[in-house]
Structure 1
Amino acid sequence: MDVPLPSPTGVNALRESFGDRKLPDITRKITACVACRKQKVKCHMRDGESPCSRCKKRGLPCTVNRSLQTILEEDATWKGAIVQKLRWLEDAMGQVATKIDMPELQVRESELSSISPPAAPPNPGSSHLGPVAQSYARDPPRTTWEVVMDPRGGPASIPASCVSETGRAAQPNHVPFPRRPDLVSTGILTLHQALCLFESYQLRLDHFLYRILGDHTNLDSVRLASPLLTAAVCTVGALHSQSFGHLFNVCYDEYKNLVALQTFARNANEEDVRGLCIGAFWLHELSWALIGNAVRLASDINLHSGIYKALKGDREGYLQARLYYLVYVCDHHFSIAYGRPPMSREGFIIDSASRLLESENATEDDARLISQVKEWSLLGQVFDTFGVDVDTPVPSQTLPQLRRYSIALDTWFADWNETFRANDNVGNYPQKGVGFHFHFAKLYLCSHAFRGAPTTGNTAQHLGPELEEIANAGVLSAMSILRVIVSDTEFQSFLNGLPLYFDTMIAFAVVFLLKVATRYASAIRIDTAKILSLVTETVSTLREITHYMHQQHLLGVIAEGLGRLLSRCQDSPIHVAHDQRLHATPRLEHQALYDVGWMENMANFDFQTQFPDLDDWWLHYNTSMGPPTRPTAQQ
């Protein structure tokens, strides 16, 4: 454990321990021996070493009385050496304890309180923080600014580069110790628990998201890099662990504390960005806030400029570029699907994504990541073209553009579908994930056909031939998603590990199909009985899968919500065969729509709240709350 010990700096440290800041009056050392001083004769010593020439000639003992100044200096020097040795010993014991898995050998802060310097007055606002977070809350840094001119650059420089931050006072964490306080060193987790949670994340979850950890291959490396990254890994690991799921709450609380403190920190780094991305991909209550912070930090440390060095073969630039791509994908997961403008921008780094794969550092994980960048760049164009006005039909003049986007998605799928081989950690997910993402994207794009669908009263009118073709493509993609969930046992095993975007889009696919089957069956030609049967199987499968998941896992909430939605829809009039209808009373119809409102309002299901009640633009078609009428049966 890294606890600072008293560090005397010569005479000043000893003097301040007695509260005396005045310099001693002694200004010179005594260099004459006792015998010469007694005879009051000049003492001749060679290089200040005894015996002197007079004592040596007469065979007399030659001793020198040390002055107070000499005693103080030698004493302080000795103490300084001892302190340094103790620090080295403590560090060595910590490393030994880590290697042999004996955390009890690590020195606790409470055991050193008697010899540590007096604690600073507590910060009243930090009483709710965990031990790791409290260590960051003390003594905020003081900064100064000055105007600078880089002699190496010309006039065409970054405008704000002429104003530089300097003179930042060192914080308590900026000490020459091997690691800063984290969940392990403060006793929140034992070393064994942290190792198990790290392995749960690093050996499986990290491979779903193209290895966010990058070059970090062991717990010690992560702990050295960032306490925030350590907390993120342990929290997400606990969320997906059956054996250590009980540790989720303590890890989650400390992670939130560290994120809150990091928001206004001035010393963020790439490792903190990794920690924010990990939380955003998997922690539903924090995802939108986390990715917003990650985008800001990525811009602050200029990750977007790493591509220039990466294309020249520089490994540091390569790591920066791929981390920016991870931020980009995460940002688009939680913006486009929710009708929010993405915060990360397009530009040279996005246009040059494919060129990164030509560098000597590129791996298959990078190819998977770049495939996602390409897909989301395309979906970002869809978002910019069609916006979020779900009550207005897609203008007929923009339908050719919608078709071009559909063709572009088909091309994307053809380019990447056969690219990836089985992964040692996540099986055939790399290839199957391409198909799943493709159908998610197709569903999002083709659902535009239902925007402002023409209605007579509450009955949807038949769509025109061109829109019907697009709408049918959306229905097929939604059904393909559900068929994989129902029939592919390997993909079922992925669900307790895939990021939040999958959970949300699965919910959207089910809601989309139920709405089409119960309220828009007259708009296109579909088999409502087949759709309802598929949804029923999907809900049953999800309930079975989530039964063994952590109770905080979002998919468990979604599975139960979809089950309630399905039971309500079964009470509504739906098509079970040609010209055959299931009748329900108006009271049941109204109650059904009222009870499932939270699922229809998925727009703000952004993991900030559990059951929101905002406009349901995310579904991209009309969701009026009036009771439906019985549409004409279609086969």
Structure 2
Amino acid sequence: MILESDSVWKNQVNRKIRNLESAIEKLAGNASMPDLLDAEDDEEEDDPSEPQDALPTSNLSPQIDKHKPHNFEIIMDDHGPAAIPGSIVSPVIMPGVEPNRAEDIITKGVLTVEQAQTYLAAYQDRLDHFLYRIIGDRRELHQIRAGSPLLLAAICAVGALHVASSDFEKCYQVFVSTAAAQTFSRRNTMDDVRGLCVGAFWLSSISWTCIGIAVRISTEIGLHRSITKALEGDRNHYFRTRLYYLVWVCDHHFSVAYGRPPMTRQDDAIRASARFLESEHVVEDDARLVSQVQFWVVSRDIYESFGVDVEKPLDQQMIEPLRRYSIRLDNIRADWTERFSYNAFVGNYPRKGVGLHYHFAKLYLYSFAFRGIGKPGWKTPDIALDIDELANSALLSATAILRAVVSDPEIQSYLNGLPTYFDVMIAFATVFVLKVSTKYATSVRVDTSEIRALVGELVEVLKHVTADMHPRHLLVSVARGVETLLGRCCTSEVGPVPSNAHVTMQPTFENGLYDTSMGWDGLDQFSMGDFDFLSSQDAYNFQPDLQYQSLPPM
């Protein structure tokens, strides 16, 4: 009787603990205080005799399978003997709560239906069209809710971010906790992948984590294997293939551009992207998506050919392959620029976006001319003219990016909506021109005063654009950082630059003030944590050695 009473008491306490934890979780979500969820009693020890099912589980999503050993079964599918070896072993998934029946951001009480509808409208009427309509034709809130709590949380978080709502933080926390629950779930859906892509494209601090999970899930549910049936006209496999293309592009946004090897490969689906556009259900958004796939195929090839060693100068054997990559980028731009027309939701972005991506890729490619600058073997006599040509081309692409932002009001209107990759590349182009115009002006013919004026105009544009943005938006940090960099760059013991002065530089490669990685490694300060434009490297402590030569008035 004593033992039985003790067992009943333990069960009652466990139920109360679960109820208490559930209440704390809701309070933490509503108050944006995730630290409440981490509070634990360090001295508490698990009772090895207590059944696992009796342990508190309120912090676990119902989408996560119980932590029990899986049973496996051997299956014989409809394929021939040449089937994939691992396909014949399948875990037995016990019945449980289906993903679309789990609590979402509304049933948890974090948002009202009206608030969620507001953020969905902000997302689907504009943001979704920058990324080729991830959510497709679904217009109603109940359609999104029926798909995936993760997708709804992602849309609400991204929508709240772009309307600068105070709800962003709590929406963000719900998305993070829901995405974490998906990590070990075996009940994932295409809408879960869509939600992770939405988070990766726009929530800069967790982009790499989100796309990592999305790649794993998309391959686990076989999206990359749907291309054959998509080409045959199967509508379901058409949607699966286009989602895989979105995952592939997103993966490359946050891998190649950061010096990381992509997790996705150039498989049958990627090689068949041109034929995909000839399939039955294709729309213009698919053409835009495939144009991105083609740009990133080239950028990936560049990454694999030249690697990430920014201290290794180019040699004669690298020049011709580099030129061939440049020609491939030229061809992609020529093929796609005139193909796109005005879009009712995002204006001329389909066409102008091709130009921006072209210059992003060109800057990445041509910046290799500066690899190993100042070290033995850089700009050897046999390739000196080639290096000069490539270096000047890099500067042209970088300034083209900045001029597009400064001079085109329509592009400025896109900035509070474009994926974070654009913010990173605008920042990279700015840092690049400032480095070249201060430290390495003797290596490239550059009008230093013109570059500074251009960056000054960019600062004013970014300050205007970001004035009403949510402070967590990456472009807010970029705007603040660019202004600080320009101020440091223009500070000199010799005073301000006269209006009729021509500035020349005396390079001092040994002083180590700069990060000479003109490749993508120069973006490491944009890590997947909090984006502090200036904090991680003292490569931005500009101390240029300037000499002013006064010129006669024109």
- What is the TM-score normalised by the length of structure 2? 0.82
| In 2: Cα distance, 1:284 partner to 1:256 partner | 13
Q: Is the Cα–Cα contact under 8 Å of residues 74 and 89 in structure 2 kept in the other structure?
A: yes
2:389 matched to which residue of 1? 469
Q: Which structure ranks higher in relative contact order (CA pairs < 8 Å, sequence separation ≥ 6)? A: 2
Q: Is the Cα–Cα contact under 8 Å of residues 335 and 342 in structure 1 kept in the other structure?
A: yes
| In 2: Cα distance, 1:531 partner to 1:420 partner | 32
Choose which of 155, 178, 192 in structure 1 pairs with 2:114.
192
Structure 2 gaps of 5+ residues are 1-13, 30-57
What's the CA shift string for 1:413-469, capped at 9, x where partnerless? 00001010011111111111011111111111110011112369xxx9998211111
Q: Shift in Å at residue 186 of structure 1? A: 2.4
What are the equivalent positions in structure 2 for 1:260-299 lying under 5 Å apart? Answer: 260-299=180-219
Are the structure 2 counterparts of residues 314 and 579 from structure 1 closer, same or farther at C-alpha, using a change threshold of 3 Å? Answer: same
| In 2: Cα distance, 1:454 partner to 1:240 partner | 43
Choose which of 401, 411, 425 in structure 1 pairs with 2:321.
401
Letter in 1 for 2:88: C
2:80 matched to which residue of 1? 154
| In 1: Cα distance, 2:272 partner to 2:318 partner | 28
1:372 matched to which residue of 2? 292
Letter in 2 for 1:163: V
Choose which of 330, 333, 349 in structure 2 pairs with 1:429.
349
Are the structure 2 counterparts of residues 624 and 464 from structure 1 closer, same or farther at C-alpha, using a change threshold of 3 Å? Answer: farther
| In 1: Cα distance, 2:73 partner to 2:95 partner | 21
| In 2: Cα distance, 1:445 partner to 1:170 partner | 51
Tell me, what secondary structure is at the counterpart of 1:424? Answer: coil
| In 2: Cα distance, 1:571 partner to 1:600 partner | 26
2:90 matched to which residue of 1? 164
Letter in 1 for 2:392: N
What are the equivalent positions in structure 2 for 1:219-230 lying under 5 Å apart? Answer: 219-230=141-152
Tell me, what secondary structure is at the counterpart of 1:426? Answer: coil
Choose which of 18, 22, 39 in structure 2 pairs with 1:122.
18
1:8 matched to which residue of 2? none
Q: Is the Cα–Cα contact under 8 Å of residues 303 and 320 in structure 1 kept in the other structure?
A: yes
Q: Shift in Å at residue 608 of structure 1? A: 1.7
| In 1: Cα distance, 2:221 partner to 2:482 partner | 42
Q: Shift in Å at residue 630 of structure 1? A: 4.1
Q: Shift in Å at residue 613 of structure 1? A: 6.5
Q: Is the Cα–Cα contact under 8 Å of residues 513 and 541 in structure 2 kept in the other structure?
A: no
Q: Shift in Å at residue 604 of structure 1? A: 4.1
| In 1: Cα distance, 2:233 partner to 2:456 partner | 52
What are the equivalent positions in structure 2 for 1:428-577 lying under 5 Å apart? Answer: 428-454=348-374, 464-572=384-492
Are the structure 2 counterparts of residues 182 and 390 from structure 1 closer, same or farther at C-alpha, using a change threshold of 3 Å? Answer: same
Letter in 2 for 1:512: F
What are the equivalent positions in structure 2 for 1:227-242 lying under 5 Å apart? Answer: 227-242=149-164
Q: Shift in Å at residue 487 of structure 1? A: 1.2
What's the CA shift string for 1:528-558, capped at 9, x where partnerless? 1111111110111101110111111110011
Q: Is the Cα–Cα contact under 8 Å of residues 522 and 632 in structure 1 kept in the other structure?
A: no
Letter in 1 for 2:183: T
1:44 matched to which residue of 2? none
What's the CA shift string for 1:107-126, capped at 9, x where partnerless? xxxxxxxxxxx968629987
Letter in 2 for 1:608: G
Letter in 1 for 2:530: T
Tell me, what secondary structure is at the counterpart of 2:90? Answer: strand
Range moving further from structure 2, 565-574 or 306-315: 565-574
| In 1: Cα distance, 2:198 partner to 2:456 partner | 33
| In 1: Cα distance, 2:540 partner to 2:349 partner | 38
1:603 matched to which residue of 2? 524
Are the structure 2 counterparts of residues 367 and 582 from structure 1 closer, same or farther at C-alpha, using a change threshold of 3 Å? Answer: closer
What's the CA shift string for 1:136-185, capped at 9, x where partnerless? 2598434633342416333211111221111x3333457xxx84321112
Choose which of 319, 338, 342 in structure 2 pairs with 1:418.
338
Tell me, what secondary structure is at the counterpart of 2:72? Answer: strand
Q: Shift in Å at residue 628 of structure 1? A: 4.5
Q: Is the Cα–Cα contact under 8 Å of residues 130 and 257 in structure 1 kept in the other structure?
A: no
1:78 matched to which residue of 2? none
| In 2: Cα distance, 1:489 partner to 1:173 partner | 47
2:223 matched to which residue of 1? 303
Letter in 1 for 2:528: F
| 1:340 paired to 2:265 | no
Letter in 1 for 2:339: T
| 1:204 paired to 2:130 | no
Are the structure 2 counterparts of residues 181 and 138 from structure 1 closer, same or farther at C-alpha, using a change threshold of 3 Å? Answer: closer
Are the structure 2 counterparts of residues 193 and 162 from structure 1 closer, same or farther at C-alpha, using a change threshold of 3 Å? Answer: same
Are the structure 2 counterparts of residues 262 and 172 from structure 1 closer, same or farther at C-alpha, using a change threshold of 3 Å? Answer: same
Q: Shift in Å at residue 219 of structure 1? A: 1.3
Q: Shift in Å at residue 204 of structure 1? A: 0.3
What's the CA shift string for 1:227-280, capped at 9, x where partnerless? 0000000000000014xx111011011111101111111111111000000000
Tell me, what secondary structure is at the counterpart of 2:338? Answer: coil
1:75 matched to which residue of 2? none
1:10 matched to which residue of 2? none
Query: Root-mean-square deviation (CA), in Å?
Result: 3.5
What's the CA shift string for 1:13-32, capped at 9, x where partnerless? xxxxxxxxxxxxxxxxxxxx
Are the structure 2 counterparts of residues 461 and 361 from structure 1 closer, same or farther at C-alpha, using a change threshold of 3 Å? Answer: same
- Residue identity (%): 45
Q: Is the Cα–Cα contact under 8 Å of residues 235 and 248 in structure 1 kept in the other structure?
A: yes
Tell me, what secondary structure is at the counterpart of 1:165? Answer: strand
Are the structure 2 counterparts of residues 375 and 632 from structure 1 closer, same or farther at C-alpha, using a change threshold of 3 Å? Answer: farther
Letter in 1 for 2:90: S
Q: Is the Cα–Cα contact under 8 Å of residues 511 and 600 in structure 1 kept in the other structure?
A: no
Q: Shift in Å at residue 581 of structure 1? A: 4.5
| In 1: Cα distance, 2:226 partner to 2:16 partner | 41
Range moving further from structure 2, 182-191 or 121-130: 121-130
| 1:351 paired to 2:247 | no
Are the structure 2 counterparts of residues 248 and 155 from structure 1 closer, same or farther at C-alpha, using a change threshold of 3 Å? Answer: same
Tell me, what secondary structure is at the counterpart of 2:205? Answer: coil
1:114 matched to which residue of 2? none
Higher radius of gyration, 1 or 2: 1
Letter in 2 for 1:333: H
Q: Is the Cα–Cα contact under 8 Å of residues 281 and 500 in structure 1 kept in the other structure?
A: yes
Letter in 2 for 1:431: R
| In 2: Cα distance, 1:308 partner to 1:440 partner | 32
| In 1: Cα distance, 2:283 partner to 2:16 partner | 49
Q: Is the Cα–Cα contact under 8 Å of residues 336 and 380 in structure 1 kept in the other structure?
A: yes
Are the structure 2 counterparts of residues 169 and 431 from structure 1 closer, same or farther at C-alpha, using a change threshold of 3 Å? Answer: same
What's the CA shift string for 1:24-55, capped at 9, x where partnerless? xxxxxxxxxxxxxxxxxxxxxxxxxxxxxxxx
Q: Is the Cα–Cα contact under 8 Å of residues 184 and 194 in structure 1 kept in the other structure?
A: yes
1:32 matched to which residue of 2? none
Are the structure 2 counterparts of residues 473 and 128 from structure 1 closer, same or farther at C-alpha, using a change threshold of 3 Å? Answer: farther
Q: Shift in Å at residue 408 of structure 1? A: 0.7
Are the structure 2 counterparts of residues 271 and 128 from structure 1 closer, same or farther at C-alpha, using a change threshold of 3 Å? Answer: farther
Letter in 1 for 2:18: P
Tell me, what secondary structure is at the counterpart of 1:422? Answer: coil
| In 1: Cα distance, 2:110 partner to 2:389 partner | 57
Letter in 1 for 2:119: L
Q: Shift in Å at residue 525 of structure 1? A: 1.3
